[in-house]
């Protein structure tokens, strides 16, 4: 099998991950469009407020995506075993359980919004903007749950294109409504939030329609019980560890947001904007890791561990190359991208320095992402979750420990060192697992 064969592990990973990468880039247009338009139309304080809400809204979205990640791994293994009848049962059970739970959490967030922002030491000059944005953005969470659940099941059966098409629709709706609500109607940060929530509703409606009309494997039937206990038990075993990990990471990010807020609104505007850019630039790495997870899970379900190991090796190699290229590009041009969002001179300078400091760690993140995908694809989600939580705790501790010496750049170095901790945890564990399996 040559490198150019469509069945080669590297080719399979690239083909599968490309729609995921494009989907992620388009999805980030939500925050990019919000940030760019708000920053230029309303001002830097409003821009900082939109970035500030990320830590709170991520408490919901990361828990949700962590949960559906586990379900995707379970579904991919079932698909590899050709147990196709299990797929709609997974979908129906967790639609019934997950969507109402997200609605309740969103309602709780709206009720206790002020207490959350006070706990985060939100700077007084952006507190009102932050509250306005957060209250509206939480309304879209149940619809985002629907999208994530269907997207997880579609990816599990090898369809990474349909979630991409849903994101295309959502991105177009979001950008158009941003321009209408913020630039034309002058609704400020509330307009940006309404644009995002409405676009999430459109995305959810599209993906449900597509799955029901085009994917027989995911057709829901009222002839069976919607919630079957044994399906819930299996799904819970796979989904709970990454959901807990994601929730803890979101809470940790809130703690880090509080730490960041102590440096003032210029640092908040600079670093939250830098993270928007950083996230979209790292999407090839993140989504190649997701592709590794899905392909390893399907290979394990089919009983082909040799193929699973090939996906791991090529995933590591591809991510290493991409990471190195991103390191060079972002160290040189990251600060210029921050300045595009309408921040002041001080914030632009902070953003430029942030990228120079964090880019040197990208290679560690790339390799760790591929190894994490391998571990999760093999169904070892508990270990991966433990590593995620431990590395986050290390990042929080390092942030405070390095602050007296590095000031606000402790934020960059603490995150980079977190990636090194992940790498140290994954390499020996995968080698041990390989030895236990008796692989050469």
Q: Could you write out the DSSP letters of every residue in 327-352?
A: HHHHHHHHHHHHHTTT--HHHHHHHH
- pLDDT for the residue 236: 87
In a domain, 3, yes or no: no
- pLDDT for the residue 33: 66
In a domain, 414, yes or no: yes
Decide if pLDDT at 437 tops 60: yes
- pLDDT for the residue 205: 95
- Label residue 25 by pLDDT band (50, 70, 90): confident
Q: What span, in angstroms and rounded, lies between the C-alpha atoms of 151 and 253? A: 25
- pLDDT for the residue 402: 95
Average pLDDT, integer, range 247-262: 77
In a domain, 193, yes or no: yes
Decide if pLDDT at 439 tops 80: no
Dihedral sign of CA atoms 75, 167, 147, 59 in order: positive
pTM of the predicted structure, to 2 decimals? 0.77
pLDDT in tens, 171-188: 889 888 988 988 788 887
Q: What span, in angstroms and rounded, lies between the C-alpha atoms of 57 and 228? A: 31
Domain count, the chain: 1
- Label residue 404 by pLDDT band (50, 70, 90): very high
Of 58-62, 72-76, 99-103, the poorest mean pLDDT is in 58-62
Percent of the chain with pLDDT over 90: 29
In a domain, 4, yes or no: no
pLDDT in tens, 268-306: 888 878 887 887 888 899 989 989 999 999 998 888 888
In a domain, 374, yes or no: yes
Q: What span, in angstroms and rounded, lies between the C-alpha atoms of 417 and 357? A: 12
Mean pLDDT of the residues in the chain: 85
- Label residue 130 by pLDDT band (50, 70, 90): confident
Decide if pLDDT at 5 tops 60: no
Full domain range(s) for residue 18: 9-436
Percent of the chain with pLDDT over 70: 92
Decide if pLDDT at 140 tops 70: yes
- Give how far Cα 167 sits from Cα of 57, 137, 175, Å: 19, 17, 12
Q: How far is Cα of residue 271 from the mean position of the Cα atoms in its chain?
A: 18
């Amino acid at each position: 099998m040559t490198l150019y064969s469509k069945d080669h592990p590297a080719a399979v990973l690239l083909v599968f991950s490309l729609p995921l990468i494009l989907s992620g880039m388009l999805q980030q247009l939500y925050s990019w469009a919000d940030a760019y338009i708000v920053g230029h139309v309303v001002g830097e304080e409003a821009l900082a407020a939109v970035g500030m809400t990320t830590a709170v809204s991520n408490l919901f979205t990361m828990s949700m995506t962590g949960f559906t990640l586990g379900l995707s791994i379970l579904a991919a293994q079932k698909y590899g075993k050709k147990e196709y009848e299990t797929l709609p049962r997974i979908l129906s059970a967790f639609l019934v359980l997950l969507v109402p739970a997200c609605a309740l959490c969103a309602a709780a967030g709206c009720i206790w919004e002020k207490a959350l922002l006070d706990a985060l030491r939100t700077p007084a000059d952006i507190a009102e903007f932050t509250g306005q944005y957060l209250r509206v953005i939480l309304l879209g969470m149940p619809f985002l749950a629907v999208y994530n659940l269907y997207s997880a099941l579609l990816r599990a059966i090898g369809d990474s294109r349909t979630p991409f098409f849903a994101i295309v629709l959502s991105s177009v709706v979001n950008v158009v409504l941003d321009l209408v609500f913020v630039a034309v109607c002058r609704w400020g940060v509330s307009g940006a939030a309404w644009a995002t929530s409405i676009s999430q509703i459109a995305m959810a409606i599209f993906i449900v329609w597509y799955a029901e009309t085009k994917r027989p494997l995911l057709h829901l039937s009222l002839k069976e019980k919607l919630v079957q206990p044994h399906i819930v038990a299996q799904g819970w075993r796979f989904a709970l560890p990454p959901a807990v990990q994601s929730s803890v990471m979101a809470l940790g990010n809130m703690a880090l947001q509080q730490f960041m807020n102590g440096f003032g609104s210029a640092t908040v505007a600079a670093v939250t904007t830098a993270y928007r850019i950083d996230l979209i630039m790292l999407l090839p790495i993140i989504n190649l890791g997701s592709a590794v997870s899905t392909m390893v899970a399907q290979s394990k379900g089919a009983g082909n561990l040799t193929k699973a190991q090939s996906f791991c090796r090529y995933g590591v190699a591809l991510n290493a190359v991409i990471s190195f290229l991103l390191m060079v590009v972002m160290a040189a041009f990251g600060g210029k991208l921050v300045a595009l969002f309408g921040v002041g001179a001080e914030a632009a300078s902070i953003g430029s320095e942030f990228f120079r400091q964090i880019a040197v760690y990208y290679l560690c993140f790339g390799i760790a992402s591929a190894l994490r995908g391998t571990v999760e694809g093999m169904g070892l989600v508990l270990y991966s979750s433990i590593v995620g939580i431990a590395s986050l705790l290390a990042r929080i501790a390092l942030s405070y420990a390095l602050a007296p010496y590095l000031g606000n750049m402790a934020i960059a170095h603490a995150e980079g060192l977190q990636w090194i901790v992940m790498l140290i945890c994954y390499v020996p564990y995968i080698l041990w697992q390989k030895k236990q399996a008796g692989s050469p």
